[in-house]
Structures are given as structure tokens and as C-alpha cells.
Chain A
Amino acid sequence: MSGFSVTEPSKRQKWIAGLLVITYALVTIMPLLWIIATGFKSPEDAISYPPKVVFQPSLEGYVNLFTTRTRITTSMQGTLPPPETWYEQIARDSGTIISGPSRYGQRFMNSIVIGFGSTFLAIFFGTLAAYAFSRFKVPIKDDLLFFILSTRMMPPIAVAIPIFLMFRQLGLNDTQLGMILLYTAVNLSLSVWLLKGFIDEIPLEYEEAALIDGYTRFQAFYKVVLPQAATGIASTAIFCLIFAWNEYAFAVLLTSGSAQTAPPFIPTIIGVGGQDWPAVAAGATLFLIPVMIFTILLRKHLLRGITFGAVRK
């Protein structure tokens, strides 16, 4: 914009605004950078006073995250054959030997399976329902849509009591299938509302043209509407995935062993005498980085996703 404009802020205003926002951004990002940095600290550096900003990077946190170890005495150290791999070397340096893998990998896998499984189902059923709500006269449509949204208002713990009893009856407690079904139901409200918004924006004329060309409704849906809605479906899917990925309340109450996801597991990583902070931070880093990347990819649709489509830019 050039010349005089009453709505364009002055250079000085921009400068001050930028300075304040950047200061806030740097402060707000600190805890996240601290998580990443702590993952690369040795246990001594992690708990030093004052907190260390410059430190010798170490992979001990990551080794501790993925393994279980046993402490050995210095005299025993001498009797052992030299370590074969770099991670054995790291464990040996801190006076331990690796006795096996930890459960982190398996918990992470559970998060992936449950996250992707529930996202797929929520998107599949959500797209169908959203299309119907967008294009057809469904009786009591507004009531149904509100009912779908209201399922999100219940506190998860309140819902968890009967779900726990129901799953116990059906043998679904602590199973991946149970968690996938549960997260699908929770995510449906989000996917129906968001996708309805996206499909509403596709002009009706495209389908009408297809119908006149002799397509059936069903063909018009999957050959015309679906490709048009692809971006909307993709961003909705990422929102569903992030929800399932981050969910804690249901996971901690309904899973304990084989189907446990990463969020309830990471805080339970302990070392000698309390939490092993570098290992916790390493686990958190690996768990949070994918979401950060998705957030950056999604930034254009972020507002829509977090408000259930109530605010569109």
C-alpha cells in the first residue's frame, strides 16, 4: 500500500507491535525449546543449578528412553567384554548395562494405530454424514447437528464411568479396538461439523451438472464432491489425528497395559530417585514434534478446526 491511508498503521506502530509480539513469541516458545534441549542433556546437566543453557550434548536421555538398564559395580565393569554398539557404550559410561528394550516404542506404536484407526473411521462416517446434512433435507436436522455437538460438552471422566462398565462387559477394556471406537465417536462431532462447512462451500452447480449428465447421486458424491472437498477432508483428518494423539483422560482410565498410548506413559518414565528428566524430555520431544509439524502445515485452517467450523477466515 502506498500513499496516505487512514487504516494503514504507521511505521512506528508496526515497529512497536512487532517488538511486543516477537517478545511474547520468544517467551512462549521457551518451555518447548527447554523440552527439546533437556532431551539432549546428561542427567547431571538437566538438574544443575543455575539451569544450563550451554551444555555438552548427550544421547543418554534417548538411550534411557528406549531401554531398561541394570546398575553394575565398577569391578563388574572390568569383567565385561567391551560394548559393541554406541548405545551400549553410553549406558556403560553411566555405570549400567542394557537389559532390554523399554515399553516406549510399543506405547508409541499404540498411539499411531489408535490415532490413525480412529481418524480413518471418523473421517469415513463423518464425510458421509456431513454430505447428507449439507445436501439433503434431513428431518430434525438442526436438532441432530446440535446433538452431535453436545456430545463434546460432557466431561470425559463423566462419560468414562459407563464406558468403563460397558467395555468391561464387552471385553474391550485395554484393547486397541475399544480405544479406536471410543475416539471415533468423540471425533465424529468434530469431523461432521467441520466437513459440513467445507462441503457447504462447494457450489451445488457442479453436482447438478453431473446429475444432468446422468450420474447417480452416489457417483456425483464420490466423483465430484469428494475431490472438491479433498483439502477440507485432509485438514479435518489432521485435527482428528491430533485429538486422538493428545487424548489423556480416557487413555489413562481405560488402558493400563497392552493398549496404553504414549500420553499416560511418558509421565511415568522414572529413573533412579524420581523422574528421569532427560528421558522424559526425549520421549516428549519425539511425541510433540509431529504435532508441531502438522500445526505449521495446517496454519491456514487452524481457526476453523479449533472452533468446530464456527469461525471461518
Chain B
Amino acid sequence: MSGNSIDRIAQATPPTIAKRVRGLSDRAIAWLFVGPSIVLLLAVNIFPLIWTINLSFTNFKANRNRDVDYIGLRNYERILTDADTWQSMQATAHFLFWTIFFQVLIGFALAYLINKKFKGNDLWTTIIVLPMMLSPAVVGNFWTFLYQPQIGLFNYVVEFFSGVDASSFSMIGSVTLAPWSIVIVDTWMWTPFVMLICLAGLRSIPDSLYEAAECDRASKWRQFWTLTVPMVLPFLMLAVLFRGIENFKMFDLVVQLTGGGPGSVTTLTSIDLKREAFEKWRTGYASAYAVILFVTVFGLASIYVKALNKVKER
């Protein structure tokens, strides 16, 4: 019996591969399998990161062929004392805060409603999800058309419901409205992301918990605050983490929508960095800027993950 099965396998096995691999230990296979990915990531992520850190101490300009001098921490000093940097940080903070605020609010509400399991909720969920899968640059570009004062659909709808003349305001041309124009499009695009994660959270709550609460005669209101919200919170926090990291990196959507303007009211840090690196060609300065951004996002994310784990443990 056993001899028979060995024969069968021997016949079914392509000899070349068998010969080459049969002798390999699990450990060798593990490294063989993981190796290429690690090498590629080292080459495309870590090596460039080290290069960036190195460049950040120099006055290198990528469009010139001149001697590169090491200037110590002067780039860092300049960036942190530059009013423009702080303005772009502020624009990013505004964008981050309000997009997350609206996305959590609307996303959770939608998930709560979808979880009422009305007929056809699957179909409508799929429709709601569509915007977040699309190319932000292509969609962002089209939104500039929707935002046009005279002919844009957005302005027309605003006029239709509020009576404010459609040609009297320009969402992306006005200093006060432009920061909101990017918040609106990002919220439109990414609310479904928060919604999906909240929905998973709501669905993870076992019915028996509600039944028990009902037996204890807890009101619906109390059930919501002492059962639903705490159970969904870890999911919600995860959604906020993802949106936070993504929107801290935000480039494509905003660059196509407003280009950082008018003036610099929507110049997020990524856009500011792109100008320094690829328009002014201050490569050393931009490298220091990149390092600062990376340390910021990494630091904030680590602190946040610690908090998230605490909530999960409760």
C-alpha cells in the first residue's frame, strides 16, 4: 500500500523541481520565499529612505551639477522656523480634523441605518461604496467642473435648495470656501470606508447581548450608549487610523482640485513638499522636510495604535 502511493507520487512529480527542492529544509524554503519581497522593499523603500536622510543634511539641488556640502542641521532649522511650513501644517490639520469628523459622523450613521437590514440594503451599500474605489486624481479633476460658479452642478444644487445665487460664489476660487471644498470631496469619497468598517463592527455584536439588555429593561437609548458604541469603538478607531494616515499623505485629490490655492490656503504638506522638491529643486531641503513628515506620521500613528490596543483590551 505505502509502496504503491510512493510510486504514484513519484510518477506525478515533475522530476526537475522535485530534485531541486526535495532537499531543502523548511527554513531554507522560508527564506527563499520571503527573500525576494524583502530585497525589493529594501531597494525601493529602505535604501531611498536612508538616502533621503543623508541628503537632508546637504544643500544638494537635483537640477544642478555642483559640489554638495554637508550643512548639518541647517535644513531642519530652516523648515521649522519657516512660516510657510507651519501654514501648510495648519492647512493639513484643518483638513484632517474636519474630514475625519464628518466621515465618522456620516459613516457611522449610515452603517447604523444599513444594519436595520431593510430590503435591498446590499445593493445600496455597493452603490455608496463606489466613489472610494475610483482614481482620486481623475475624480478630483472632474469636481472642479462641478464646482464652477456658473455652470457647475454643485453650485446649481446649492442655489436650488438655498436660494444663494449660483454665480455669486466659487468653491475653489474663494479663500474662505476652498478649504471646505476639499473637505467636501474627501468626505464624499471616503465616508463609505468608515461606513464599511463600522458596519463590520455593528455586525460583530451578538444578538444575545441585546436580548440580555432587554431582559434587564435597559432603554434603547441606554443600550445604544452602553452596548453599541463601546463595541463599535475599536472598529471606529481603526477607521480613523487609516483615514488619518491616508489624509496626512493626501496629494492627488487636492492637487487636482485646488492645486494648493487660492494663495496657499489649501497647500497641504505633501503639496508644499512637492513644490520644494520638484519645482524649486531644493532637494536637500525637501529631503529634510520629508524626514520630518515621516517622523510625524510614524510617531503619531504609534501613539495612536497604543491607545487603540488599550481600548481593545477593555
Contact = CB atoms under 8 A, between A and B. Distances in A.
B22 A21 contact: no
B108 to A, nearest CB: 13
Interface string A7-49: 1010001110110111011001111101100100000001111
A194 B177 CA distance: 40
Contacts of B85: none
B293 A155 contact: yes
Interface stretch (B74-82, B94-102, B117-125): B117-125
Interface in B22-43: 22, 24, 26-27, 29-34, 36-38, 40-41, 43
Contacts of B93: none
A28 B133 contact: no
Interface stretch (A68-76, A89-97, A127-135): A127-135
Contacts, number: 304
A161 B151 contact: no
B55 A158 contact: no
Contacts of B291: 158
**Majority secondary structure, A binding face:** helix
Interface residues of A, number: 104
Contact of A288 (B134, B273, B297): B134
B233 interface: no
A184 interface: yes
Interface in B64-123: 106, 110, 113-114, 116-122
Interface in A202-254: 213-219, 242, 245-246, 248-249, 252-253
A28 to B, nearest CB: 6
B128 A24 contact: yes
Contacts of B52: 158, 161-162
B106 to A, nearest CB: 8
A29 B37 CA distance: 39
Contacts of A262: 138
B136 A155 contact: no
A218 B33 CA distance: 11
Nearest to B274: A157
A249 B34 contact: no
Contacts of B34: 128-129, 132-133, 138, 144
A214 B114 CA distance: 51
Given A128-B34, A129-B37, A307-B238, A28 B153 contact: no
B147 to A, nearest CB: 11
B170 interface: no
A296 interface: yes
A162 B21 CA distance: 38
**Majority secondary structure, B binding face:** helix
A82 interface: no
B178 interface: no
B146 A185 contact: no
Interface in A145-160: 147-148, 150-160
Given A50-B156, A161-B52, A166-B48, A14 B118 contact: yes
Contacts of A47: 151
B188 A18 contact: no
A275 interface: yes
Contact of A28 (B5, B48, B131, B294): B131
Given A32-B131, A153-B298, A49 B151 contact: yes
B126 A155 contact: no
B13 A303 contact: no
A291 B133 contact: yes
A253 B278 contact: yes
B290 interface: yes
Interface in B230-246: 235, 238, 242, 245
A78 interface: no
A292 B142 contact: no
A257 interface: no
A14 B278 CA distance: 53
Nearest to A124: B36
A307 to B, nearest CB: 7
Nearest to B135: A246
B195 to A, nearest CB: 10
A295 B156 contact: no
Given A138-B34, A161-B283, A311-B197, A14 B153 contact: no
Query: Which of B120, B135, B249 has its CB near the most chain A CB atoms (within 10 A)?
Result: B135
Given A31-B153, A31-B188, A246-B135, 6 more contacts: A25-B124, A51-B152, A161-B283, A166-B48, A185-B43, A311-B200
Interface of B: 5-6, 9, 13, 17-18, 21-22, 24, 26-27, 29-34, 36-38, 40-41, 43-45, 47-49, 51-52, 55, 62, 106, 110, 113-114, 116-122, 124-139, 141-143, 145-146, 150-153, 156, 166, 188, 191-193, 196-197, 199-200, 203, 207, 210-211, 214, 235, 238, 242, 245, 248-249, 251-252, 256, 269-270, 273-274, 277-278, 283, 286-287, 289-291, 293-294, 297-298, 301
19 contacts: A18-B124, A31-B153, A38-B145, A126-B37, A132-B30, A144-B34, A147-B41, A151-B41, A153-B301, A158-B52, A162-B55, A165-B62, A185-B43, A218-B29, A246-B136, A248-B256, A267-B141, A287-B138, A311-B235
